[in-house]
Amino acid sequence: MIGRILGNRYEIMEKIGGGGMALVYKAKCQLLNRYVAVKILRPEFTSDEEFITKFKRESQAAASLSHPNIVNIYDVGMDDQDIYYIVMEYVKGKTLKQIIKEHGPLNPEETINIAKQISLALHHAHSNHIVHRDIKPHNILITDDGRVKVTDFGIARAVTSSTVTNTGNVIGSVHYFSPEQARGGYTDEKSDIYSLGIVMYEMSTGRLPFDGESPISIALKHIHEDVMPPTKVNEGIPKALEDIIMKSIQKDQVKRYGSTKEILEDLNQALKQPTGDFVRFEEDDDSPTQVIPVIKDNDMPKGKLGNPKPRPEKIKSNRLIVWGAVATAFVLALVFIGSIFFFKDIFISQEKEVPAVIGKSYEEAKQNLENLGLTVEEPQEQYSSEYDEGQVMFQDPKAGENVKSGYPIRLIVSKGAKLTEVPNLINKNIDEIGFILENAKLKEGTVKYEFNSLPIGIIISQSPEAGKNAPEGSGVNILVSQGPETKLILMPNLVGEKIESAKRIIETSNLIVGKIEYKTDEKIEKDTVIEQSLAAGTETEENKVVDLIVSKGPEGATQPSEENELQMKAVSLGINYNRAKQEEFILRIMKKQNGITTEIYRATHYKSKEGEKIIIEGRGKATIEVYFDDEKVAERNIDFETGSLYE
Ligand code: ATP
Ligand code: MG
């Protein structure tokens, strides 16, 4: 892999890690000249079509997230049909797992500080309806200056049961799985809260609450076994932190924190009041929500099973009595069975599978749900760029879950997209627009690149334009400069040409005439080029300077006409450096005369000198251009004979 270029722009440099699903490399984006991390799916997954589809869908969803505590995803791609990769922000630092391994338990403030940043990341994702599903210290990167960046959002969802058994990669994750995940059941935001609780437990004690020989045994412990309170492992943990951990890792989803917002509030409180008793635990409720009475014999209507009515004394025939008893018993049995079904319908309500209503109109969704005997709560409304006005954008419980009939279903209905003003991105660097777009509640749309005279990474144009209104969450497409196109030229042969024609060849090849030196030569006719600084046939970039050595003819011969140029007039040019962009820059002076441009000066100068006088030489009238690095900063006409400069 090392040295390979993916997607025509990401050059793989070194391997930085690997998990169950993928290998992670540091790479360089050649287009934007920055380091990125490239996560490449392990080959055993690339033949699993279902996995690939989910992987793409999930990583694209995760790419829509933009938050300082979430590792930014830049790109998702495929190369050569079988390399699937995600390009993301390169985070210089360590994983939380490494930090716990190296330092042991963290102090309570550190634990809370990291937990807060993870909660902020989760809060952002949850408000965008993305559940992480694989919160664990390996997926939490900490930069050298202590910032937390959570990675791998939602990607765990792509892992199907077949892929899990293929690689056993859940082994690392199962320590952090919620009971519902361990059971293979339905997971949601609360599953992330549980995993965060386990991560907080590990940060503050240096240990995992559940460990075992096999993933199955660990999973079973999450489902059945009680956790040893963190203070039993580390006495130094303050009460508030312990309470927060214990509330997060309740086995019953209902008893956990309802949202990351609630956790954040308690974490903040714990910083102020470490020993406070403010974390509220759900009371253990003894009366179950659905009362299913035990059906007893004497509850039976007209059952009379226990003590049948005494029968009249008139006994005609024994046989008759026997038949009568059998018939009665039969009828009573029917009544009994019938009543069981009758009661069952009343008391044991049937489980219903919740249908998928996201994307349907509210009326249709309501109808569908009510037809199944489910109740629909008063709907909430939210702006959405994804769903049209009036469409259901969220349902709880999710489709496929089983609930009792009459269960209330919560729906969020889209108010359509909220509009926001598009900010100006033109002339900004692509690296700085993430923040601008986030502030405007927009995101990066399609990014195209083009050769341009603007420096690399600078935005040339945008759509929609600045000042227009666009739906919140929608993308702004941008065209980014790749820098000037460097065209390659085959260096023409100049040796043997007369100086005038050599100059024209250089000029028409988009090259620049450099220094011309005259030498006596016994054999070669005067004014003929003897040597060129770039050999003929070599490939060279446009605007390269070519120096020439020209014959003066044999010694003592008549002065060559070009010799006149040697008796040039010197003019002193005062140049101010305040337009230089960098301390050290290259100062170039070009002379344009008779349609030919010649570089007459090139040297490194320093801005701190403020300005200097440069002596240039020439004859007659010419135009002088001054460049700092490759930027033209001045153009003047000059008369070398009088030494005067004019506009
Ligand atoms: P899993 O396959 O369950 O996600 P994992 O999280 O251990 O397991 P990867 O997500 O493949 O494995 O990551 C492997 C390692 O690569 C991480 O532990 C981390 O050291 C490194 N890494 C991942 N993403 C980045 C990134 N954006 N910048 C820098 N290093 C990273
Ligand atoms: Mg990971």
Tell me: pLDDT of 148 over 60: yes
What are 95-106's pLDDT values in tens digits?
Answer: 999 999 999 999
Helix/strand number for the chain, H first, E second: 16, 32
Mutate to test the pocket of ligand 1, among 144, 152, 159, 173 (most ligand atoms within 8 A of CB): 152
Q: Which ligand is nearest to the CA of 22?
A: 1
Q: Ligand 1 atom 4: the closest Cα is on which residue?
A: 19
Q: Quick one: 565 exposed, middle or buried, by C-beta within 10 A (0-12, 13-18, 19+)?
A: middle
Q: Which ligand is nearest to the CA of 37?
A: 1
Which CATH architecture is the domain 353-414 placed in?
Answer: 2-Layer Sandwich (3.30)
Q: How high is the pLDDT of residue 292?
A: 32
**Cβ proximity of 576 and 523 under 8 Å:** no
Indicate the SS3 state at residue 429. Answer: strand
Q: Ligand 1 atom 17: the closest Cα is on which residue?
A: 17
Q: How high is the pLDDT of residue 45?
A: 77
How far is the C-alpha of 422 from the C-alpha of 465, rounded, in Å? Answer: 7
Report the range out of 15-29, 157-171, 378-392, 404-418 with the highest average pLDDT.
15-29
The rounded Å distance from CA 71 to ligand 2 centre is 11
Closest CA to 25 of 36, 92, 34, 33: 36
Q: How crowded is the C-beta side of 503, counted as CA atoms within 13 Å?
A: 16
Q: Which two tokens stand for residue 596?
A: 């030919």
Would you say the CB of residue 196 lies under 6 angstroms from ligand 1?
no
Tell me: pLDDT of 335 over 90: no
Mutate to test the pocket of ligand 1, among 1, 15, 21, 24 (most ligand atoms within 8 A of CB): 24
Tell me: pLDDT of 236 over 70: yes
Tell me: pLDDT of 337 over 50: no
Q: How far apart are the first and last CA of the chain?
A: 58
Over residues 248-273, the mean pLDDT reads 94
User: Active-site residues: which are they?
Assistant: 134
Would you say the CB of residue 168 lies under 6 angstroms from ligand 1?
no
How far is the C-alpha of 85 from the C-alpha of 91, rounded, in Å? Answer: 17
Over residues 38-63, the mean pLDDT reads 79
The rounded Å distance from CA 18 to ligand 2 centre is 8
User: In the 3-class helix/strand/coil scheme, how is 51-67 assigned residue by residue?
Assistant: HHHHHHHHHHHHHCCCC
Q: Which two tokens stand for residue 622?
A: 């010419």
If one compares 114 and 44, the residue with the highest pLDDT of the two is: 114
Q: How high is the pLDDT of residue 68?
A: 86
Mutate to test the pocket of ligand 1, among 12, 14, 15, 16 (most ligand atoms within 8 A of CB): 16
The rounded Å distance from CA 21 to ligand 2 centre is 8
Q: How crowded is the C-beta side of 324, counted as CA atoms within 13 Å?
A: 9
CA-to-CA separations, 467 to 55, 237, 416, 419, in angstroms, rounded: 36, 53, 21, 12
Please tell me the CATH code under which domain 94-272 is placed: 1.10.510.10
Q: Which ligand is nearest to the CA of 20?
A: 1
Would you say the CB of residue 16 lies under 6 angstroms from ligand 1?
yes
- Give the pLDDT band of residue 556 (cuts 50, 70, 90): low
Percentage of the chain exceeding pLDDT 90 = 40
Q: Which ligand is nearest to the CA of 169?
A: 1
Closest CA to 23 of 7, 4, 1, 3: 1
Closest CA to 415 of 394, 391, 379: 391
The rounded Å distance from CA 370 to ligand 1 centre is 46
Please tell me the CATH code under which domain 5-89 is placed: 3.30.200.20
Over residues 480-501, the mean pLDDT reads 85
The rounded Å distance from CA 19 to ligand 1 centre is 6
Would you say the CB of residue 173 lies under 6 angstroms from ligand 1?
yes
Over residues 199-213, the mean pLDDT reads 94
DSSP per-residue letters across 314-360:
----HHHHHHHHHHHHHHHHHHHHHHHHHHHHHHSPPEEEPPP-TTS
Residues in the chain: 647
CA angle 379, 381, 385 (to 5 degrees): 135
Q: How high is the pLDDT of residue 12?
A: 95
DSSP per-residue letters across 535-594:
-TT-EEETT-EEEEEEE--STTSPPPTTHHHHSPEEEEEEEE-TT-SSSEEEEEEEEEET
Angle of helix 189-205 versus helix 96-103 axis, rounded to 10: 20
- Give the pLDDT band of residue 79 (cuts 50, 70, 90): confident
Q: How high is the pLDDT of residue 567?
A: 67
What's the mean per-residue pLDDT of the chain? 82
The rounded Å distance from CA 95 to ligand 1 centre is 8
> pTM to 2 decimals?
0.50
- Give the pLDDT band of residue 537 (cuts 50, 70, 90): confident
* Domain 419-481 sits in CATH 3.30.10.20: yes
Q: How is the chain split into domains, by residue range?
A: 5-89, 94-272, 353-414, 419-481, 488-551, 569-645
* Domain 569-645 sits in CATH 3.40.50.720: no
How far is the C-alpha of 178 from the C-alpha of 184, rounded, in Å? Answer: 10
Name residues whose C-beta falls within 8 Å of residue 341's C-beta, 6 or more positions apart in sequence.
Answer: none
Q: Ligand 1 atom 15: the closest Cα is on which residue?
A: 17
The rounded Å distance from CA 25 to ligand 1 centre is 9
Would you say the CB of residue 303 lies under 6 angstroms from ligand 1?
no
Q: How far is CA 546 from the centre of its chain?
A: 48
Nearest atom within ligand 1 for CA of residue 134:
3
- Note whether 353-414 and 488-551 share their fold: yes
Would you say the CB of residue 93 lies under 6 angstroms from ligand 1?
no
Residue with tokens 């995992």: 208
Q: Ligand 1 atom 29: the closest Cα is on which residue?
A: 91
Nearest atom within ligand 1 for CA of residue 155:
4
Helix/strand/coil percent split, the chain, to 5:
30, 30, 40
Nearest atom within ligand 1 for CA of residue 19:
12
Tell me: pLDDT of 410 over 90: no
What are 568-625's pLDDT values in tens digits?
Answer: 788 888 899 999 988 999 999 999 887 788 889 999 999 998 999 998 988 888 999 9
CATH class of the 488-551 domain in this structure? alpha beta
Indicate the SS3 state at residue 257. Answer: coil
Q: Report the sign of the C-alpha dihedral through residues 121, 126, 128, 131, in that order.
A: positive
Q: Which of 281-290, 336-345, 361-370, 517-526 has the lowest mean pLDDT?
A: 336-345
Q: How high is the pLDDT of residue 96?
A: 97
How far is the C-alpha of 201 from the C-alpha of 227, rounded, in Å? Answer: 10
Q: How high is the pLDDT of residue 340?
A: 36
How far is the C-alpha of 271 from the C-alpha of 113, rounded, in Å? Answer: 9
Helices (DSSP H) in 160-229: which residue ranges? Answer: 161-167, 170-173, 179-182, 189-205, 215-224
CA angle 266, 268, 271 (to 5 degrees): 110
Q: In sequence order, what E strands does 424-496 have? A: 443-450, 459-463, 469-471, 475-481, 488-490
